[in-house]
Each structure stands twice: as C-alpha cells, then as structure tokens.
C-alpha cells in the first residue's frame, strides 16, 4: 500500500478498527473474533483479508484454524496511521464492549497467556522484553576493558558503553562531532571517556594496547575501510575483541544523503580484511522496517594471540 489515504480509508471502517483493537490485546482466531465482535464469519474473514493484505496482520496456522495477530513490525505509514487512530478510538463504545466480551472469552477458555503463546512466544509481545532492555542486559555482562570506539560521532553511545569499559577512547575526525562529544562528556562528568581527533586509517594510538575496538555504523564512512580495520588490529592486544557493526552491501542511493562513501560490505570482504583473526563471525541482522530497508551487518573477531 503506497498512500497514507489508503491506510486512513482502511482504518476508517469501524469493524476493521474493532478487529485491530481486539488483536492489539492478543492474537485471536476467526471464531474467537466472531464471538468478541459479534459479527458473521464472512464479515470477519473479509476484513481480516484486507488488513492482512495491507500489512497489518500475520496469521499462524493452529490446527485447522488460523490465529491472527497484529504485526509488531508495521511499515512506517501503517504504524503512523494506527498510532494516530488507536488512542482516538480506544474508548469508543463498541471497542469497550468488545473488550468486555474478550475478557469473558478469556475466563471461559480458562487457559493462561503462557499456555496460549507456547510455540510462538518469539512473535508475541512479552512485557519488558524489548531489544533495548536485552541490549543493556548483554552489555552489562560484557567486559570491554580499555575500549576504542572508532567513528564515535558525538558520543551518543558513550553512556551505553561506559558501564562495560575500564576506559573509552572515542575516535572521530570531525571537529563538530568531537566538540559535541567533549561537551557531552563534560556535562555528565564521565571521567573514563575521552576523545581523540583522528582518522581511523591513521590512528595515533599505541599498538597492542586495547582490549576492544568498535566500529558502530562508521566503517561505511571511511575512505579506506581495509586500512581502518588493519589499524584497529594493530592497536588491539592479542586476544582483543574487534566488533564492527556496519551495513550489508546494497544499491540504495539514499546512503549518499548520510555521507556514506561505501554502499555497505559483504561478509567475504570483512572476513578477508581481518584474516588471521580467531573466532571470526559475520552475519546479517534483520533488515530495517523503514524503507529502503538497510540491512545491518555484524562482524566480531579476536586478534590472534
Ligand atoms: C553515523 S556516525 C556514527 C556515530 C556513532 N558510532 C554512533 O553510532 O552514534 C559515523 C561517524 O564516522 C565518522 N568518520 C567518518 N570518516 C571517518 C574516518 N575515516 N575515521 C574515523 N571516523 C570517521 C564521522 O565523522 C561520523 O561521526
């Protein structure tokens, strides 16, 4: 679906809105939706078909039935329209009545949420299980020691990283970024963090001195990414961690607007530029929801000891 008006027309139907509100509470089958909405099977199925084709719903086979759920990876326009319409219709009388009927259905079924989501929990909302919370949890368990963040920008990641580091050296060649980053460090009184104005390809940092080197969406900005990775390996201690989060090779011209010099990389390139390292892992992560759907690429490796 291309246009915002198409989404608004879709959500302009009261019954479709009621379906979305019901599914926002939990995944339901056609039979359950019929009961909650008090509508015929053909009407429910026809609305479900339209919502599914427009990218609002997933369905999962469950025995002979299908269980429908609201996608949590809605495309930008669909998400914006639903977020705008949802609060406006949440207390609508029909939506309130549906909520009461859903409550009644739940107590009739007698099964707990845990039993209902078994087998598809990975696709379900579970309170508190956010990517941000998971990221913080894993970082808290990580020891980055003396760490260098290359292409650190204005230090947006310092707060996140500092708890896992003994010291954090932020490298960036942009005077504007370095000045904003230094200001951030000063304002927060972060004693462990400092800036170094330099190019990754020519690091004025000691060899074999650091426990970890990170590139967080910065490699695609560098004139000579191969040289930058070589320098990173030079400053790492034997056994030190190299982590490079970048983009998978793509053909989207949108990257020009962000100042990228490279349209992403392949794992083959990253692996060959870090050959000689141990425990090399490289894989693509899920593509972004928003167009043009860039795909992040992650390389981790340990410098040979
Ligand atoms: C998108 S920003 C990433 C900022 C930061 N890593 C983050 O995740 O918030 C990319 C940064 O790479 C820096 N950069 C560009 N060329 C570089 C180079 N040759 N060496 C080191 N950093 C570079 C830019 O100045 C910019 O601050």
Distance of CA 25 to the CA centre of its chain: 23
Per DSSP, 190 falls in state -
What is the reported pLDDT for 107? 83
Q: Which pLDDT band, with edges at 50, 70 and 90, does 2 fall under?
A: low
Largest pairwise CA distance in the chain: 73
State mean pLDDT over 35-64. Answer: 92
State the distance from the centre of ligand 1 to the C-alpha of 198, rounded, in angstroms: 11
Are 214 and 187 within 8 A, CB to CB? Answer: no
pLDDT of residue 138 exceeding 60: yes
Residue with tokens 């996608």: 71
The answer to whether residues 175 and 239 touch, using CB atoms and an 8 Å cutoff, is no
Question: What proportion of the chain, given as a percentage, has pLDDT over 70?
Answer: 99
177: CA distance to ligand 1 center in Å?
Answer: 9
Residue 38 CA to residue 95 CA, distance in Å, equals 12
Candidate from 173, 196, 216 with most ligand 1 atoms within 8 A of CB, to mutate:
173
Domains annotated on the chain, with CATH: 4-123 (1.10.10.10), 131-302 (3.40.50.150)
Question: What are 55's two structure tokens?
Answer: 């990218």
Ligand 1 contact via 157 beta carbon (within 6 Å): yes
pLDDT in tens, 284-296: 999 998 889 999 9
User: If you measure from the C-alpha of residue 244 to the centroid of ligand 1, how many angstroms do you get, rounded to a whole number?
Assistant: 12
Q: How confident is the model at residue 110 (pLDDT cuts 50, 70, 90)?
A: confident
Beta bridge partners of 194: 169
Mean pLDDT taken over the chain: 93
Peptide bond into 292 cis (omega under 30): yes
The residue assigned the tokens 């979305």 is: 20
Q: Is 172 in the pocket of ligand 1 (CB under 6 A)?
A: yes
User: Looking at residue 249, what is its pLDDT?
Assistant: 98
Distance from the alpha carbon of residue 178 to the mean position of ligand 1, in angstroms: 10
pLDDT digits (tens, 9 = 90+) for 157-212: 999 999 999 999 999 999 999 999 999 999 999 999 999 999 999 999 999 999 99
Contacts of 257 (CB under 8 A, 6+ apart): none
Give the separation between CA 154 and CA 180, rounded to whole angstroms.
5
Ligand 1 midpoint to CA 286 (Å): 22
Our answer on whether the CB atom of 177 is closer than 6 Å to any ligand 1 atom is yes
Task: Please report the pLDDT score of residue 226 as a whole number.
Answer: 98
């Amino acid at each position: 679906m291309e246009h915002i008006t198409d989404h608004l027309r879709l959500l302009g139907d009261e019954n479709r809105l009621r379906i979305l509100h019901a599914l926002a509470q939990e995944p339901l089958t056609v039979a359950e939706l019929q009961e909650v909405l008090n509508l015929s099977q053909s009407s429910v199925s026809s609305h479900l078909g339209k919502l599914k084709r427009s990218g609002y719903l997933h369905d999962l086979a469950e025995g002979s039935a299908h269980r429908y759920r609201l996608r949590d990876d809605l495309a930008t326009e669909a998400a914006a329209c639903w977020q705008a319409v949802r609060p406006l219709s949440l207390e609508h009388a029909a939506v309130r009545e549906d909520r009461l009927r859903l409550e009644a259905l739940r107590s009739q079924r007698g099964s707990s949420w845990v039993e209902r989501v078994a087998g598809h929990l990975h696709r379900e909302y579970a309170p508190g299980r956010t990517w941000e919370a998971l990221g913080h949890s894993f970082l808290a368990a990580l020891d980055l020691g003396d760490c260098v963040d290359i292409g650190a920008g204005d230090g947006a990641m310092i707060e996140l990283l500092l708890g896992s580091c003994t010291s954090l050296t932020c490298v960036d060649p942009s005077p504007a970024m370095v000045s904003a980053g230094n200001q951030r460090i000063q304002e927060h009184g972060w004693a462990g963090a400092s800036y170094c104005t330099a190019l990754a390809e020519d690091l004025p940092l000691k060899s074999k001195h650091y426990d970890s080197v990170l590139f967080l969406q910065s490699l695609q900005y560098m004139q000579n990414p191969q040289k930058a990775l070589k320098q990173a390996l030079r400053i790492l201690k034997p056994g030190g961690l190299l982590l490079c989060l970048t983009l998978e090779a793509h053909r989207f011209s949108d990257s020009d607007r962000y100042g990228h010099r490279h349209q992403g990389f392949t794992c083959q390139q990253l692996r060959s530029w870090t050959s000689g390292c141990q425990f090399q892992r490289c894989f693509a992560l899920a593509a972004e929801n928003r167009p043009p759907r860039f795909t992040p690429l992650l390389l981790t490796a340990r410098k040979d000891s």
